[in-house]
Structure 1
Amino acid sequence: MKKGFYRVAKKYKWVFLSVSLPLILLFLTILGFSLFYRNRIFPGVYVVGIKASGMTTDELQTALIKAVVFPEKLVVFAKEKSFDLSLHEIGFGYDYDKTVKSAYSLYRSENFLLNFLYNLQSPFQKREVNLVINIDEEKLNEYLQVVSSQVAVEPIYPNVVYQEARVVVNKGVAGEDIDPKAIKKKLENKLSRRDYSRVELPLKNIDPTISDDEAGRLQERAEKLIGKTLNLSYEYTNIVLKEDDLFKLLDPHKSYNGENILEFTNKEVALKVNREPQNAVFQFENGKVIEFTPAKNGITVNTQLFKDQLIEKLTFLETSEEKTSTLNVPVQTAPPSITTEQVNNLGIKELLGSGVSTFRGSIPGRVFNIGHAASKLNGVLVPPGETLSFNSAVGEVSTLTGYKQAYIIKDGMTVLGDGGGVCQVSTTLFRAALNAGLPIEERRAHSYRVAYYEQNSAPGLDATVYAPTTDLKIKNDTPGHILVQTIFKPEEVTLIFEIYGTSDGRVATITKPVITSVSAPPEDLYIDDPTLPIGQIKQIDYKAWGAKVVFDYEVDRNGETIYEKKFVSNFRPWQAKFLRGTGPTN
């Protein structure tokens, strides 16, 4: 029995040894391998062709710095045009530290089992690591913009124009340009492999063209906007969009073009509407305010809300029969640090009302006179209970007081006379007083309808003056002084009056003027003039339709009417007059 037992034991001993010894040797080999490569790069790792196996990170970094040399510039080309790309100017360089860390991280894992398996794989594989590069993208883009300006073909985007009373749709033309993203990727790929050969710049096709069906739908939409206008308004700023302006906002693929709306908002609307907060300034001297700046909130167009409301108005015009629509530009405000009330003790606190008129088509002398007369009223203070007389405030109107010759109505005719255009000023002040809710003690309409006063207003809202017989008088029945301010904008052919004071809660209402008794102008009158050569015609007066215009003016405070008046204007029909030459020709 014992001999049999020992024979079996001896047999299993050799089995055990034959199995365990190889395992022990394998374990010792792996352990030695792991210990050796603990701080070294594993076998089979190459960095741009440089064998990194067995190196420490410091050794590899030193080797790379010695081995890698790159040129000062690369040659890039597109469309048979070559350009030098200075690597220094685009901030190019190799990041050896990150490159070494990338090589060192191969076959390593925080998971023990995975780390063991990765270690076993390394002697039997070859892994190539590229260099990590740094490029200043902003400088590269600047360089590419220069290249683009010489090789790009600008696309023509689809557009709609209004030509010779018809809608014309241009379907667009394709273009091409260099592809910055593809170029950056290509540069990184070549430079990371130490490839400094010529680089062909990838081009991308830019094709904004639309199909015949899309062009047809776009034309149909544009035709619905013919003869329509959209008025954008904020305070005294008014922007009128007509056919060509509206067409630009249409999008051939969707409802409206968001990019074009944003560009229009920033370049047109915000440029005219936005302003910084304005602190108040008030300087009083010799019974007149010689310097006044009212406090005003800072204004910024609410871009998103404006876009939404603009699209609503465009949709309304496109889908309705209405010919015009108005959008009050939505804004965000920021208060000033010094208010109007803080800079005076006369009760000049806030804007009570304003009036606006325009004078397109005025001759230079008339434009000058408007500004000159308006300056006489700028800064005028009216105490509580007192009446402002236009004629007294403006003073004598003649060439002796600086006025120029311009057309006036005199003795039933339109003739050149001193101070033509002063009635534009009285008309604008009249409108401001109405909007401020002030009593009008004296006002007279013109003899006939004058086109200047109906450019931005209904007829009947004018006021003529002619010293000493015809005046415009406005009473200050507010609790404080009122201050008159004028804003003369000859470049915009606009005059604005603002009246400041203390609000007592009054609200002015002006009914829509009612036009009746319309009568046609008389036949044109031709007057022989021997001072003109025969055959020459010179118009000296212009026709106007006669009419009776009536509107009611009411001022309420706390539910009670404190002032009311009916304004009646009887405009005569006006005859066009021409001088007809009968004299000898030169």
Structure 2
Amino acid sequence: MSEEQAHHRKRLITILVVVGVLWLLAMGRAVYAFQDKKVIYDGVKIGAQDFSGLTSVQAKEKILAFESRMSVQGLSFSYRTAQDEERQAVIYPVVFRSDGTDSRDIIDVDVEATVDALWAVGRTGTVVRKVGERIASQWYGRKIPAVVSVDRELFRDVVRLNLASDEQAARDARVVYEQGVFSVEPDETGVAYTVDRGLDDAVALIRRLELRPIAVDRTVDKPSITVAALSPLVPFLTPVAADDIAVTYEDPNKKEKFSWTLDHEKIAMLLQVTQDEKAGFVLGLSEEALGAWVKETIAPQVEVQARDAKFKIEGERVVEFQSSRTGVEINTPALLGALSQVVAARLDRLVRGENGPFLAEQSTVSLAVQTAEPKIKTGDINNLGIQEILGIGTSSWRGSPANRIKNIRNGMNKLNGLLIKPGEEFSLLAALRPFTLAGGYLPELVIKGDKIEPEIGGGLCQIGTTSFRMAMNSGLPVTKRTNHGLVVTYYNDPTNGNPGTDATIYDPAPDFRFMNDTGHYLLWTTYMDSAAGKLEFTLWGTSDGRKGSYSAPVVHSWIGTGPMKEIETTDLKPGQRKCQSRHPGAVASFTYTVDLPGGEKKETLYKSYYRPLPEICSVGVEQKTEDGAAPVEGAPTEGTPTDAPVADTPPVSVDDLAG
């Protein structure tokens, strides 16, 4: 064998050895890949986070650790102000109401779905596909995005809210009237932020389990109306406002005639120039200023709510009537349009060089109103099918302070004798409004976040809770119901004293509503037992055979309140204390059942969560002097809510936010 042949043979052997080793490695990896391990396969990642070799539990813990870090650090959005200063806004993934009774997720990683996606690599499809995916992930890696849910509208709103203090809207030039002289206030260029791309970047980061600052785009906001455009109008404004404008109206209920006058000063104060795509600039009146004038001057004499005819029965006889009344509401936009046409016509005439008194149509407008017919007119209250009791709801207001009792009685009186039409969705808030002193309500303590404050109408959730129980015992469809944020003893169920069957109301929301699907009118009667501290509501009508009921509420768990909190305040005299009793949280549920005449049964499971709140005491302190004198301690004041705990029941003293 020649030397060249020997060398060639040696090289061939080397190649065969290398190929054999590679083959063995490949076979080893194939055998390794073919095995169905109880862990996530090698090379599977989310972004830069490696999940190779982790069990599903370990993977969940890793993702939850990221969520925990995101909850603490938040999402940082960087932006530049109008003065070119760099700032950051931190957005947290969960937002709460100011009183802590409700929360919403802005952005959230679906841990279960994400782990399922990681686990699915190499485990779905045919055997060939499974093995192929396992080998591919080992050699080349496999990146899986985290499954993320986003409330984009809420996300956008929260980001924009955090940027709002540094956002400067462009200001149009505008006509101003001061000390009898018209002038033009200069326009200003503003700065606006476009957050959509930043939101996309934030979501992309979370899908990679990454946290880092996100840039927000800044744009220049230019005014649409400039000084140069308005200045030529100024000489015409004084003559436009020179003559009065009369607003006339005839009351549809009393047939009484009214007239209100916009004099020169008032017209001059209301004048406003707006941009119009077709006409360029239009002279009109300020909607906001006109609305304020209408509300203060005209509305008290014109606006009334529609009033239904109602009757009260004793036994089965109607003994009391109330006549119906057409409701009237001022149509401010229509009035604005009519007045704007008057001043525009005046301007047009002056620009054309016409002099002399303005025409009648340029000096008088009719007040535009919207009318609402009563739901039940006086002639409609006969033969309504009010025959029998459909259901009764009760609750206890025992121990309530005086104003709370007066508020409950006032609300009860508004409901007593109320008729609900067939097919109507009844709104409790609509029936109880207006929540004002004039509406018969008084201030009573409510809880707002961590503060105890008097508010007009406190205690009306007694009405909401009793109505809820009445509707269920009548077998009616409940369309809107929200439980309280806290456990309040006034609303514990009379069957076993547990929370769960309450309903909170608070204007404008939440409301309590139900449908009258009986095909007949319903009559609502109320009764307040002062001796027993009991409120009772009854629905009368025509039964179709249905029976409504609800199970006694079950408390699945109680939630501790934590230690007492003290808040120093100068609103109280030094040493005075006002305390809110602690409110243990709870998770409760009950079942609402309707047995239908055909033998069918409808069941609705209601679940309620009540947040815990520790005892909070406001302590009066002295104003600190220059030498930093310490506050003085003192005794608690009279009138503080002092409901004490009852054995094995959560202690409370005053209403929750809406009650």
TM-score by length of 1: 0.41
Rg (Cα) greater in structure:
1
